[in-house]
Structure 1
Amino acid sequence: MRILHTSDWHLGQHFMGKSRQAEHQQLIDWLVQQVDEQAVDAVLIAGDIFDTGSPPSYARELYSQLVVRLHGAGVALLLLGGNHDSVSTLGESRALLACLSTTVVGAANDPQAQVVVLSRRGGLNEPGCVVCAIPFIRPRDVLQSLPGQSAQDKEQSLQAAIQAHYTAVFDAANTHRAALQAELGHALPLIATGHLTTVGASTSESVREIYVGSLNAFPTSAFPAVDYIALGHIHQPQKVGGLDHIRYCGSPIPLSFDEVRQTKEVLLVDLNDAGLQTITPLPVPRFQHLASVSGNLVTLAEHIQTAATQGTPECPVWLEVTVAEDDYLSDLPARIEAMVEGLPVEVLRIRRQRGNAAAALAAAVRETLDELSPHDVFERRLAQEELADDLKLALQKRYRQVVTGLQEGQS
């Protein structure tokens, strides 16, 4: 059984005013070709299929196109809801898509409904593996808040509730697998999914906090003992906790400029009766070149020229420029525009290295402190500091605990 694990497509995303429609169309074309060439039995998308709960019509068309083309190839498709996805949007076509070899699990409710059997390629209904198909777990799905709880109590309660949900789905899947194995006369591998942040995972600026004020990261020890865990939400491909069988595949296209240097990939996961066999990363081509360059006005010209070699007049490079040393100049946009004139690049963002976040706050049109939450202000101030990721995560967690404690003290 070969599964293609991908996640975080964010169909319908607008990147600083730019549509990703052309990139996602090329991604679908490439994916369908790989499914055929790599003899994939099933495709699994671990959450954040759409970028918003109300995706534009072209994003829905791309979604439908993916379903139809994979069904035509005889390949099963499993779609899990993410924190960006609307449960109702995913659910509105669930029954129809079930007729096209596609299973949609939008919400974490009934454990039995999250047990999915993926068949081998060809529509022969030959079971290949059993899946604990767990989407993004919203706190309200598994937990009822109690009065008087501290921030630490809420975090522990939510972690325990999520772990209990995984256990319930795991038990239901094991029972179903045992019945199938007795009928088939051989073992079936068992895998699980998830859309969350785990302890030690490396994030990027486009990854949104999903449990604000409570759970920061889910420990790997709390996952059930399965053959493979296919995760989504984190956009950088990585193993979790050094464990080979717990993986983030990452997003297939860069969703922010700090993802530009990442090698985007999908994962080919091979399983058989004995469990997990191999995991093979399959690099995704870059359909739209992005570049992030930095330096003073002397060095930037050379860096921009280098970045421009990746672009064409028909498909210019999307560029982020960070100005150091000369960042005090008031006419930076005009100077940068003069540098890129005639080059196949399009400047989407200009940043001043020193005090960038403070300058952005001051210059933001129609934005005042009244419109920002304490968390927004803290995040923007923290972004000015060059700190290790683990230290930033620790500071974010501690700040959330302090604010929650103050708010509870006032209530």
Structure 2
Amino acid sequence: MRLLHTSDWHLGQHFFGKSRQHEHAAFLHWLLAQVQQHAIDAVIVAGDVFDTASPPSHAREAYHQLVLDMHDAGAQLVVLGGNHDSPAVLGESRQLLARLHTRVVPSLDGAAAEHVLALRRRDGSTGALLCAIPFIRAREVRQSLPGQEAEAARQDLVAGIAGHYAAIHAAAVALRDEEGLQVPIVATGHLTCVGAKRSESVREIYVGALSAFPADAFPPADYIALGHIHRPLKVGGAEHIRYCGSPIALGFDELDSPKQVLLVELDADGLQAVTPLPVPVFQPLRRISTPLAGLERALAEVGAGLQPGQVAWLELEVVDDAFLPDLPARVAALLEGLPLEVLRLRRRRASQPALAPALQSLDELDPQEVFARRLAAEDGLDADQQQALQGCFAQVLATVQEGGA
């Protein structure tokens, strides 16, 4: 059984005002080529197929075209809902897409057995059973209790998520035994595990309740295909519990991470091999941090390193102690004739550390950090009051974010 594990496409994303449509189109074309080249049996998308709960029409069109292409290529497609995805949007076409060899699991609704899917080989035989687990919303596994301590809430959430995994895995084992199948069991997930590092484009999903899910709380599946973290990672060093990462860089801080999908090979004895397939770079992104005196040279070097026809998007930090009210105009003048476009520009004093709090813009902060800084500026609040207010804010934020998805 040959699977492709991918996640976090974020179709429809706008990046500092720029559309990623051409990158996503190129990636999906490349993905289809991998399916054909490697004779893939099934493709698993472990959440966040879309960037927002209301994706633009071109993003939906790309998604539906991929379904058709995968069907024509003879590969099964399984799409799991992520925290950015709307269960209603993903669910509206699931019955239609099922006729095209695509299974969509937008939410945790239904009995445990309903989340056990057969993954088919190209000849139609069952090659594996899938515990198809999407992003689990906190409200789906526990009730928020007034006055509940943070640690108790965390333990309840871990237990609730682990309980659903155990129940669905048990249903898969029961089905395997009932039908006398000699096949491996694969599970999915869309969450942050212990040891995973979030990038700036990754939204915290269990706000104020759970920072990371422990790897030992997963059931004993042969392979666990995870999404949500945009960098590839073996969870706890385990070969069989993996994040594949996003296929394109969704933030400038992801430029140091390889972009890939994972070719997963299994047989009746379990996991046999995991092979990363590097995704080409379809849109160059660059980060530059330079003193003002070296700015012209730094820009020229980046421009010279591009392939003909490429235009790089830049995050540019100019380090200088002088007051530079005309910095945007200076930068614009230096960019004349260069295949570069600055999407984020900031100045930092040489005496201040990189990303000093006073110099960070709102797009570099998550809502919790903004609220925490506002609390810190408020006189008359002791530590207990601040903690209580942060807990209330976390609940409101979680409600708003989950309501939008």
Tell me which residue corresponds to 2:40. 40
Matches within 5 A, 1:20-35: 20-35=20-35
Flag the 1:287–1:310 CA change in 2: closer, same or farther, 3 A: farther
Specify the SS of the correspondent of 1:241. Answer: helix
Tell me which residue corresponds to 1:120. 121
| Displacement of 1:380 | 9.8
CA distance in 1, matches of 2:29, 2:22: 11
Tell me which residue corresponds to 2:324. 329
Q: Does 1:237 align with 2:236?
A: no
Flag the 1:97–1:379 CA change in 2: closer, same or farther, 3 A: farther
More displaced 10-residue stretch of structure 1: 191-200 or 317-326: 317-326
Tell me which residue corresponds to 1:264. 259
CA distance in 1, matches of 2:268, 2:143: 40
| Displacement of 1:152 | 1.4
| Displacement of 1:403 | 2.4
CA distance in 2, matches of 1:164, 1:176: 18
Deviation per residue, 1:282-308 (Å, 9 max, x gap): 000000111011110122322222221
CA distance in 2, matches of 1:166, 1:117: 17
Deviation per residue, 1:360-394 (Å, 9 max, x gap): 56xx8xxxxxxx96642437999xxxxxxxxxxxx
Tell me which residue corresponds to 1:389. none
Specify the SS of the correspondent of 2:293. Answer: helix
Paired AA for residue 25 in structure 1: A
Q: Does 1:403 align with 2:397?
A: no
The alignment's TM-score, normalised by the length of structure 1, stands at 0.87
Give structure 2 stretches of 5+ with no counterpart.
Answer: 377-385, 396-405
Q: Does 1:50 align with 2:44?
A: no
Question: Which of these residues, 362, 372, 375, is aligned with residue 378 of structure 1?
Answer: 372
Tell me which residue corresponds to 2:273. 278
| Displacement of 1:239 | 0.7
CA distance in 2, matches of 1:87, 1:377: 28
CA distance in 2, matches of 1:45, 1:373: 28
| Displacement of 1:313 | 7.4
Maintained 8 Å contact 1:194/1:232? yes
| Displacement of 1:315 | 3.8
Tell me which residue corresponds to 1:189. 184
CA distance in 2, matches of 1:142, 1:232: 19
CA distance in 2, matches of 1:381, 1:347: 33
Matches within 5 A, 1:95-244: 95-110=95-110, 111-121=112-122, 124-180=123-179, 182=180, 187-244=182-239
Paired AA for residue 192 in structure 1: A
Deviation per residue, 1:82-136 (Å, 9 max, x gap): 0000000000000000000100001012222211111012xx4211100111000
| Displacement of 1:359 | 4.5
CA distance in 1, matches of 2:257, 2:28: 20
CA distance in 2, matches of 1:264, 1:373: 27
Flag the 1:340–1:44 CA change in 2: closer, same or farther, 3 A: same
CA distance in 2, matches of 1:360, 1:35: 42
More displaced 10-residue stretch of structure 1: 312-321 or 263-272: 312-321
| Displacement of 1:327 | 6.5
Tell me which residue corresponds to 1:343. 338
Paired AA for residue 114 in structure 1: H
Question: Which of these residues, 233, 245, 248, is aligned with residue 250 of structure 1?
Answer: 245
The alignment's TM-score, normalised by the length of structure 2, stands at 0.88
Specify the SS of the correspondent of 2:89. Answer: helix
Maintained 8 Å contact 1:321/1:349? yes
CA distance in 2, matches of 1:138, 1:53: 15
Paired AA for residue 139 in structure 2: R
Flag the 1:39–1:295 CA change in 2: closer, same or farther, 3 A: same
CA distance in 2, matches of 1:14, 1:214: 29
More displaced 10-residue stretch of structure 1: 254-263 or 312-321: 312-321
Tell me which residue corresponds to 2:381. none
Maintained 8 Å contact 1:150/1:405? no
Specify the SS of the correspondent of 1:165. Answer: helix
Deviation per residue, 1:68-88 (Å, 9 max, x gap): 000000000010000000000
Deviation per residue, 1:259-294 (Å, 9 max, x gap): 122210000000001000000000000001110111
Maintained 8 Å contact 1:294/1:321? yes
Specify the SS of the correspondent of 1:291. Answer: strand
Paired AA for residue 206 in structure 2: Y
CA distance in 1, matches of 2:231, 2:42: 22
Specify the SS of the correspondent of 2:161. Answer: helix
Tell me which residue corresponds to 1:391. none
| Displacement of 1:402 | 7.6
Paired AA for residue 261 in structure 2: V
CA distance in 1, matches of 2:83, 2:388: 22
Question: Which of these residues, 285, 290, 294, is aligned with residue 290 of structure 1?
Answer: 285
Q: Matched residue pairs, number?
A: 378
Flag the 1:287–1:158 CA change in 2: closer, same or farther, 3 A: same
